Amino acid sequence: MLESATIHAIADTVDWAQSSASTIAKFTDAHPDMSIDDSYAVQDELLRRWEAKGRRLAGLKAGLTSKAKMEQMGVDVPSFGMLMHDTCYPEGSQIPMVGLIHPRVEAEIAFVTKTELSGPDVSVAEILAATDFVQPALEIIDSRFEKFKFDLVSVIADNGSSSRFVLGGRPMRPEALDLSTVGIVMEQNGASVAMTSSAAVLGHPARAVQMLVAWLHGRGRSLSAGSIVLSGAATEATPVEAGDAITARFQDMGSITVQFV
Ligand code: OOG
Ligand code: MG
């Protein structure tokens, strides 16, 4: 493990890069021995600071849970990160480009839990039973690393590129649809840019929640009731610019539109 002073210094850098929309070099350039555990220790330190400033945790994100995303980013292990309440935008809103570096948009299925989930191997059935509703989501990721290039250790320390997220469409009870085959189409200014099925996320997006709960368990934690969980993008992320309108249509679950300004 890195020294705690180094973890704090890396948290300083992430916090500064995120709040000033500045790019930084990968942390592994300066710290070749940095581990995934170190990166999650950076996330813990970030959360401690953000909560001390009155920011609130809304939930957690799983990322790099589909082959398309793993290949796009050149990594082969999922990442977990924090979703802060003040980064949630309403559906239909205009999202300012100010404060963002080189944002990309992902269509994801969100789970909102009603009971706590814990343990090393909760089943998909237990996850669905603990789910209050599932809902279409857009995640706006914005890596703080130059040219959106990173390794797993660095991206986790950057809170999994989290920057904004949007929930919309129709919240649905999970048993009201087959979550393993939800068709998803993403459009940029009316043109289709991504088309996929929810199956692209580990065969069933609840498996991303399952991995998240197992990972939390390994850290002596659980997923608390009322958490929002983003299960990860089923397609490659789409780069956006000011003026772009993005619509994601989810089979039987409605659609979400946002505009970047
Ligand atoms: C890391 C975050 C990936 C997803 O849904 O796969 C992610 C990145 O690609 O910058 O959020
Ligand atoms: Mg994502």
Rounded to the nearest 10 degrees, how much is the dihedral formed by the CA atoms of 175, 178, 180, 183?
A: -130
Percentage of the chain lying above the pLDDT 70 cut: 100
How is the chain split into domains, by residue range? 56-260
Residues within 5 Å of ion ligand 2, judged at the Cβ atom: 63, 106, 139, 233
pLDDT computed for residue 81 by the predictor = 98
Q: Is the pLDDT of residue 108 over 90?
A: yes
Nearest CA to ligand 1 atom 4: 63
pLDDT computed for residue 76 by the predictor = 82
pLDDT computed for residue 134 by the predictor = 98
Nearest CA to ligand 1 atom 3: 63
Nearest CA to ligand 1 atom 10: 161
Ligand 2: distance of its center to the CA of 163 in Å?
10
Query: Average pLDDT of the chain?
Result: 97
Rounded to the nearest 10 degrees, how much is the dihedral formed by the CA atoms of 20, 25, 26, 31?
A: -110
* pTM, entire model: 0.97
Instruction: Let me know if domain 56-260 sits in CATH 3.90.1150.10.
Output: no
Q: Which ligand is nearest to the CA of 69?
A: 1
pLDDT computed for residue 193 by the predictor = 97
Residue from 139, 146, 166 whose mutation best tests the ligand 1 pocket (most atoms within 8 A of CB): 139
pLDDT computed for residue 209 by the predictor = 97
pLDDT digits (tens, 9 = 90+) for 220-259: 999 999 999 999 998 889 999 999 999 999 999 999 999 9
pLDDT computed for residue 136 by the predictor = 98
Percentage of the chain lying above the pLDDT 90 cut: 95
pLDDT computed for residue 75 by the predictor = 86
Nearest CA to ligand 1 atom 7: 63
Residue from 69, 153, 166, 211 whose mutation best tests the ligand 1 pocket (most atoms within 8 A of CB): 69
Q: Is the pLDDT of residue 77 over 90?
A: no
Ligand 1: distance of its center to the CA of 187 in Å?
19
pLDDT computed for residue 149 by the predictor = 95
Ligand 1 atom at minimum distance from 61 CA? 11
Ligand 1: distance of its center to the CA of 232 in Å?
7
pLDDT computed for residue 74 by the predictor = 87
Residues near ligand 1 with C-beta < 6 Å?
61, 63-65, 69, 73, 106, 108, 139, 141, 143, 155, 160-161, 232-233
pLDDT computed for residue 73 by the predictor = 87
